[in-house]
Structure 1
Amino acid sequence: MVTIISNGRSSITVFIILCCILLHLADIQAATPPSFSFDNFSQAEDKDSFEFLGGGATIDNASLQITQDTTENVPNLLNRFGRIMYKHPFNMWLSDEIQASFNSNFVINIFRKPAWNAGEGLAFLIAPDLSIPDASYGQWLGLTNAINDGKQTNKIVAIEFDTEKQDYDPNDNHIGLNINSVNSTATVSLDDYNIELSPEVPTNYRVWVHYNGTSKVMEVYMVQDGQPKPEKPLLSKTISLKEYVNQKSYFGFAASTGNPQIELNCVLKWSLEIDDLQKKSDLLWLKIGAGVGVPLVTLLILCGVLYLNKRKRRGKGGDEESKVLGTQLRWLPGMPREFKYKDLKKATNNFHESMRLGQGGFGVVYKGILQDKDHKSGTEIAVKKFSRDSVQSKDDFLAELTIIHRLRHKHLVRLVGWCYEKGKLLLLYDFMPNGSLDKHLYEASNENTLNWRRRYRILAGVASALHYLHNEYDQKVVHRDLKASNILLDSDYNARLGDFGLARALDNERNSYAELGLAGVPGTMGYVAPECFHTGRATPESDVYGFGAVVLEVVCSRSPGISINHHQRLYSLVDWVWMLHREGSIEEAVDERLGTDYVVDEAKRLLLLGLACSHPVASERPQTQDICQIISGIMLAPNVPPFKPAFTWPSMVTACSSTDSTLTNTTFSS
């Protein structure tokens, strides 16, 4: 063994790396964490995902209605209780040290008429099974009842949103951490935070519930929906879930009403991301294998030396870079599965041209088919192979992966895996059988043109995804490359926003185009906001500008980057639509291939929204929350002036200097 070790320090380094990998492999989550995301709820599509308990629980008005959903039949609201639980259980712990971390994000509305006395409350719940205690109405919140309240056999942990004061409550407007009882372990009055759970004016509230399985800390954040996530939680409490919940437990919501206290208990959106502990369980045997003794250590050293010598013959630099990058990626929390290059090569038929789906500025995308073990069927995937030089490509690869590996939204393309091997960088995504949106707008015949219903639904989906990136994800993310070719369509023509090669998290202040080392501003003419060409920086407002270009493109089936000849004058798409708006004939911009097969009011609403998003002044563009509400019809179409406003151009000195706050503005007429 001395002879082997004497081959050099590199051999020892290889040995240490291999041993560390074995010792810590059980703590690496190589599989995608179990997760789900419901941006709204459909009785037809989502009912099989939930268990409805208590009689009145249902899906109605695109929401989970935990108790009866009626405002007219008051007797049906008295002394009611219900639960809606996600049907599939999750593994909550392996041991005292290994407990699952989870992040849940949901929007609630506790509705009451002004004449109602709100009560009793709603709760986010972790439960041992798909059942509900009898007579859990009133103060019991659908969690316990007079017989079993406080019993350790309940095995429940909940976050309550209480609207009726009991003797043990601080008031009738608080949140609390409940363990096997409705008498909370910790409570926080919401009066101090200007939050009223059930105000006279119906209000949606967004809630984040985070549990850290390592530190054993439960945190609850809450704001009015549309506002950014607070920096500090309203409630923070140390709790070891293993002591209170079953190893296999279910997530869901519970609620109740009383007499005369009544309310409607609604959940409008819900997402959950939780660690996959099964992978850790499967890998525990590797820890045992790491302690078998000197023979294994000797073998590892020998393998390390042979491997190092082999790599030396191929050149040193690439191997060290591969090991460092691979280690970085494997230790990212929540990383999806790592694939072998040979398997991806086989899945794409050696990256054959016939499997090619498209190409962007950062790589080529191929269709792949991953064979199952029985080789009787396969899973279709999209494989993005980065094609730029190794240093720049590695940065692009890491930038894209660190942004998207934890994103969970039904209208974002889901990352399913990655590979970094032999200097090759690859990302794997869900395969979108209907390709990109631009192909359906420009390559389809009149007979196969995208119908109006699908176009409207696509724009609603993209708006929802953009709102998630800007306001609902843990970090504020700017996409920076929003355009029709980056919007993919699944088998039902639902939109999936993809290609995060330019995306950056604003929290890290990495929103500059210049950092990519590219000349000018990357992006496609017509989609990039005018201020970006001067400042070189992307913002949520510049994403909104790109969305406005997409809205006009989808309605008109015309590219924002081409000129339109109208009365012997050339217009850009946005100027053309603005000119038609000024003339009072904006509906003439609608794709003529649709004929009369579209909803005129919806078309006008979208065109005005597209113009509002294309406002030359960034601060005048609508927020993503307003965009979603305008598309859904909750808000009226924006008020757009008949003439396109002038663009105010900041001085170059101001744009480039971080210390000079003096503004010198030049105004250009549109």
Structure 2
Amino acid sequence: MDKCLDDFIRTMIDSNILDVPNDDKDLLTTKTMIDLIVLPGALPSQYLGLFNSTTNGEPSNHVVAVELDTIYSSEFGDINNNHVGIDINSLRSVESIPAGYYDDNNNGGFRNLSLIGGETMQAWIEYDGPNKQLNVTLAPIDAPNKPQVPLLSLSRDLSPILLDSMYVGFSSATGSVYTSHYILGWSFKANGQADALDLSKLPRLPRIGPKKKSKIPTIGVPVFVGVLVLLCSYGVYYLAKRRKMFAEVMEDWELNYGPQRLKYKELYIATEGFREKELLGTGGFGSVYRGTLPSTKTQVAVKRVSHESRQGMKEFIAEIVSMGQLRHRNLVPLLGYCRRKGELLLVYDFMPNGSLDKFLFGPVGSETLNWSQRFHIIKGVASGLLYLHEEWEKVVIHRDIKASNVLLDGEMNGRLGDFGLARLYDHGSVAQTTRVVGTIGYLAPELARRGKATKNTDVFAFGAFMLEVCCGRRPIETTQTTTGSEEDTILVEWTVSCWNKGMILDACDPKLRGDYVAEEMELVLQLGLLCSHTLPAARPSMRQVVQFLEGNMPLPPISSALDMSYCGPLIGSDDNAFSYPSSDQAFTRGASVAESVLSNGR
């Protein structure tokens, strides 16, 4: 305590607040320094170390003080035990008011302050000499600014009281009630505005009262243990829930297809939880989502389909895995599958340019394809079909060839995809399909009679596809007649009528605006008619089709006497499909599968 007071008084001496000869400064002790500033006869009790009963009120005191009083003393006329007063030569205040401040943020409303409440506060004492005005202002320590209205004001000329040499400081006293007061910082200036205090640099108030006994052993430890138990329980629950969430159906026989099996968790992460923004398309056979495999950063298309099929799951998976082995530049490769709960997930390569029908039948003004691109796509799909029919280890009947199932990669190469209806069998054997599935307009006439899908029925659908690409029209279009009734226009029959008139090039797509190679266009249109022949035996094989398109074999002449009419059912349109119930255990779906594309923007 003596050292603190020693430092305080030496600061006052160094600042010339206390006038001490230079030769005596180093000889001063704490006691002698205290004697320098203690007023003669002052009592250390209720007189605040300033006066005694005799000197209190004497004009010779020359004392101007602002008291922050927390003890009620009736002998000095105190108004209460929590007030601010202005004292002149006496402890009986000439002006006093309860402690508080006028809050600028509350329309200047008065707010109480407790001088003994232990809260840090600020005080301003200002004397305006020319206007002879003494103002006292209080505010909490966190007040952004000094209140505009002072707490206490006194209009009085203090020049008779103030001398040429005066001390400025603080005084306190002991009493019957124990009270602690702390001065954390102060600033003083004569003839001007005192510098504002930097509140961030003020020391903290010391701890008041005895040190509290720690509650950690009695409260903290049990609470910590309880929280730890809850966290562990939640962790176990979360892990169990997450494991259940990503649980997959795995049977022993599927171990043979290990490389083709993908983890559901990986597909879930790839598609951001199958979020709506990643949805590429939805059809009768499932929904398709775009994704990026986290392990390889490969962009994929993930189709989610139901496997509530009459076909045995083992046989179905075997067929899917077998088709996953198909590798041809004009086929959309199946990368793998995943089975979980009531759904099957098929993973394909992602085709960035979407489906072909988007370019053929998009709205007016949308991007279209020139003839060179169309011819290249036709030849590519023909090459892919040849691979399926003759060049792979088994025969694959696609059963759903159409423009919406032809996807375009980054280089605009046509790739046949969507093998959801495909069937495969060994070379030299006969396919056992007896259910009519597919899309009206692409179905060969014999399917309606026998229900047998063959390579010839794929050729018929490819013929419709070629006409679709050349003419820019769907295989069956419904139009309104002048009488208001609906009329179906069959693309094959319409193209035959143009050919019979000797004007087959009139059937080409108006969007091409005549910008095409006439020999190539006529070749594809006639080949489309030949593939669409009502007699299966009159149709060429896919190997012959590729040879015709590549110019390696001349196209045989087509007789105008041949019946090229469409003999299948004429119901619905390209957006509808049908199936006849039979014993074939295959997935059937509507033409809305066309919307289940593996591309963007669908």
Normalised TM-score (structure 2) = 0.49
- Structure holding more strand per residue: 1
Which structure has more RCO (C-alpha within 8 Å, separation ≥ 6)? 1
